[in-house]
Structure 1
Amino acid sequence: MNVDILLIDDDPIAARVIIGQLEDFGRPRFAASAAEAQFQIDLRVPELILLDMDMPGTGGLDLCRTLRQDMRLETVPIIFVTAMSDEDVEVRGLECGASDFIAKPTSTGLLRARVNTHLRLQRMTRQLQDQAMTDGLTGVANRRTFEATLHAETARALRNADTLSLILFDIDHFKAYNDQYGHPAGDECLRQVARALSAMARRPSDVFARYGGEEFVVLLPQTSRNGAMTLARAMLARLHELAIPHSASGVADHVTASMGVTSLEDDWRDPVQRGGNGPSDHAARLVERADQALYQAKAAGRAQVVFQPFGHSLLPPPPGGPGVAVNMPGLRSPADVAGADTGAEAGDCDSTVAETWPRIEGIDREQSERRLCGNRELFGTLLHSLVQQYADFEEAPIQVIAAPDIARRIHKLKGSAGTLGAMRLHDLALRTESALQRHDDQLAGALLSEVGAQLSRLRHDCASTFEGWQ
């Protein structure tokens, strides 16, 4: 065995005895004071700490409290080795975070057995933590890990006026893939995509996580818009190189993905500009912006990257910019999927549109017209895609509310509805999401029925407004 044990004891004789008793575990590192101990921990985090209670300067109890405040040592056992046998001393030691007590002079058998037990428990704890932080299917980080890291990195970016970018992507036509090849093949597809693309997020601070279903997210601290867009395009190219067959796709003969990207920009990192908005608000907005960009990438034909600024009104993809499909061989026409032309005129915010913006009940006309730069055709395409994507909400809301991914779908519906100015639908989705978070299933079910009814009204009202609607 070669276990990294740190022994903290100011008595060199006692330390030499303990080191000899633990020689089969590997030679423990030694520190004679709190300052030396901190130096050793900064050098390398140990697997177990043996701590003398009676220390000069910073005593054992105070040092134990300090060590327990270090997040790096959260799962590291701290065992007091002491000649003090007072029960009150043991109680205070356990209260300050110690894992166990061993009396001096130490018995070789007892010391080795206690150390072995705590090392085994520590490894089991770490395995459980790793499992709780990892997606069981793909082996990458799970959504829980991503959300915790997102909040921490957003707080750090705001504190240091640093950059932070987010990529949210979805495998195109994955339901059709499962229908065509079967769910075991679908699971293997997810694993292949996760292995290949997670390897491209190389820095220790980058987080590549499975967000849910066929959706993945990449958190990129200290990364600007250009860096995030470069990585997103490289990931699309990597999928093309993988060439995982997908004959049921409407985009290409292999697996592709649609990607939404956003970044914290200078004006929103500035404390004066962002006002009272804290890390939680910014973290939620990052996900919302990336999600809206992803929605636009899908509506515009899939297999492409769309960028949405963090601090401005939503805009359709600019002509020739990041929202245009990456030029890769084998891609089918986006019009075959989107059912509409979303060329340069869709992104020209300065163009004058002669058509009158449609008046539809439940749609904030001014907001939708402004966000889509007056492009009526793009508005119709995106709204049609929204209604089709959530058609099951109209047909079977009682069954939908029991689905495991309902919270994620309601969150996505809320963001998409807000983008299109469908504020009545947005408000219903917001209330439904709140009910789900409170585990009020009865209210959530009733609200979801209203969501389905509103979607039906939009479908009916828009059928006579836009040519080609079903």
Structure 2
Amino acid sequence: MKNLSQKVLIVDDEKANRKILKELLQDEATIIFAKNGAQAVELARKHLPDLMLLDVIMPDRSGFEVIEEIKSDKKTMNISVIFVTGLANSDDEERGFDLGGCDYIYKPFKANIVIARVMMHLELIKQRKMLNEVAHLDALTGISNRRRMDIVLADELAANKRDHKKLAVALIDVDYFKHYNDHYGHGAGDAALKKVATSFREVLQRPRDFVARYGGEEFLIILPDSNIEGTQLIINNVMKALAEKAIKHEYSLASEFLTISIGAVIVESDQSITPADVLAKADKLLYQAKENGRNQLVIESL
């Protein structure tokens, strides 16, 4: 059965070679074609294939030049590259591996070898992605962890500046959570944090909306392309979703149910600021929300 989740970009200037490789691999992955180096780079950036079968010798530029461009671009640098060549040259092999290639396939093609090597690398890529996902997930709640948050926040700040948009970053704390743990037990506390995380996931539906567990009972939400009004609406919906779960908290001074306090900052696109600046401001606003009685949002532009 065809695995549509994995993509292979075949780069070869010879139509016959592209046809052979397609026939061998079309049942194993989604196949994309490029007939020269320039097209290879363009399609790699557009489709972000898992694996590239890259001809070494092409008219416009060599496979070595293509992989140098692929590996120097942050967007495409993680694409695995198998070189395809008709020349068995140890110096070329060494150069290819030094540039970041993961394997070589030689012409004329031997069907079993091509399939075996491609399938081996696709499986390795699949496993690597799974490990990477696990490494960036919070084990308790199943949402992103602090490590992933650091990456996303830096990327979104850069994108916000480039795209001339507004970006919202909200730091969230579960109100009187120590009291909750002390009276209901840590098992109940863990269950409550899972429900809080679920509330976020129910509301944050846009493709780039992001939530992570910041640490302990703190969470962080990133809302690209969001102004004060839009952010207020989304955060109010998050608070409503949590309220509807009616998690009993008899030891809270804010409500009879579990609630959250939020400090949210709006970042303008013309501001040159660091993630640390944003987090410090959000933390200050969160403190204000707590000082004001909790179970509320305090939001300001940076």
Q: TM-score, normalised by structure 2?
A: 0.91
Once the two structures are overlaid, the 10-residue window that deviates more, 296-305 or 157-166, is 157-166
CA distance, structure 2, for counterparts of residue 308 and residue 21 of structure 1: 58
Query: How far apart are residue 304 of structure 1 and its match?
Result: 1.0
CA displacement at 1:99 relative to structure 2: 0.9
Deviates more, 1:169-178 or 1:179-188: 179-188
Aligned residue number for residue 253 of structure 1: 256
| Amino acid paired to 1:120 | E
Larger RCO: 1 or 2 (CA < 8 Å, sep 6+): 2
Judging changes above 3 Å, is the alpha-carbon distance between structure 1 residues 129 and 55 closer, same or farther for their aligned structure 2 residues? same
Between structure 1 and structure 2, the one with the greater Rg is 1
Distance 1:50 1:113 in 2: 14
CA shift, 1:173, in A, is 1.2
**C-alpha offsets along residues 196-253 of structure 1, whole Å, 9 cap, x if unaligned?**
2133222222221111001011112221122222222222222111111222222222
Aligned CA distance change for structure 1 residues 50 and 307 (closer, same or farther; 3 Å):
same
Q: CA contact under 8 A between 1:76 and 1:122: conserved in structure 2?
A: no
After superposition, what is the alpha-carbon deviation per residue over 1:427-446, rounded to whole angstroms, capped at 9, x for unaligned?
Answer: xxxxxxxxxxxxxxxxxxxx
Cross-structure match for 1:31:
34
Contact (CA 8 Å) 2:41, 2:66: kept in 1 or not? no
Distance 2:109 2:17 in 1: 9
Please give the per-residue CA displacement for 1:363-388, whole angstroms capped at 9, x wherever unaligned: xxxxxxxxxxxxxxxxxxxxxxxxxx
For the pair 1:145 / 2:148, whether they are aligned, the reply is yes
**Cα deviations across residues 112-167 of structure 1 (Å, max 9, x unaligned)?**
11111111111111112112222111111111222222222223333454312211
1:196 aligns with 2:196: no
Q: CA deviation at 1:56?
A: 0.9
For residue 302 of structure 1, the aligned residue among 291, 294, 298 is: 294
1:17, distance to aligned residue in structure 2 (A): 2.3
CA contact (8 A) 2:166 2:266 kept: yes
Determine which structure has the larger helix proportion and give its number. 1
Paired position in structure 2 for 1:292:
284
Instruction: Report the AA paired with residue 2 of structure 1.
Output: K
Secondary structure, aligned partner of 2:203:
coil
Q: Is the 8 A contact 2:71 2:78 kept in 1?
A: no
Shift in Å at residue 28 of structure 1?
A: 2.8
Distance in 2 separating the partners of 1:286 and 1:31:
42
| Structure with greater proportional strand content | 2
Amino acid at match of 1:83: G
RMSD: 2.0
- Tell me what 1:241 maps to: 244
Q: Which runs of 5+ in 1 are unaligned?
A: 311-470
Does residue 61 (structure 1) correspond to residue 64 (structure 2)? The answer is yes
Matched positions, count = 299
The answer to whether the 8 Å contact 2:45/2:76 transfers is no
Alignment of 1:366-405 (within 5 A): none
- How far apart in 2 are the matches of 1:87 and 1:29? 29
Match of 1:2 in 2: 2
Separation (CA, whole Å) in 1 of partners of 2:49 and 2:227: 36
Deviation at 1:94, TM superposition (A): 1.2
| Distance in 2 separating the partners of 1:26 and 1:197 | 34
Give the direction of change, closer, same or farther, for the CA distance of 1:17–1:234 in structure 2 (3 Å limit): closer
Query: How much identity, in percent, do the aligned residues show?
Result: 35
Contact map agreement 1:289 1:308 (CA 8 A) in 2: no
User: Secondary structure of the residue that 1:262 maps to in structure 2?
Assistant: strand
> Gaps spanning 5+ residues in structure 2: where?
none
Determine if contact 1:75/1:125 at 8 Å carries over to the other structure. no
Q: 1:293 to 1:77 in 2, by over 3 A?
A: same
Corresponding residue SS for 1:19: helix
Counterpart of 1:167 (choices 170, 178, 183) is: 170
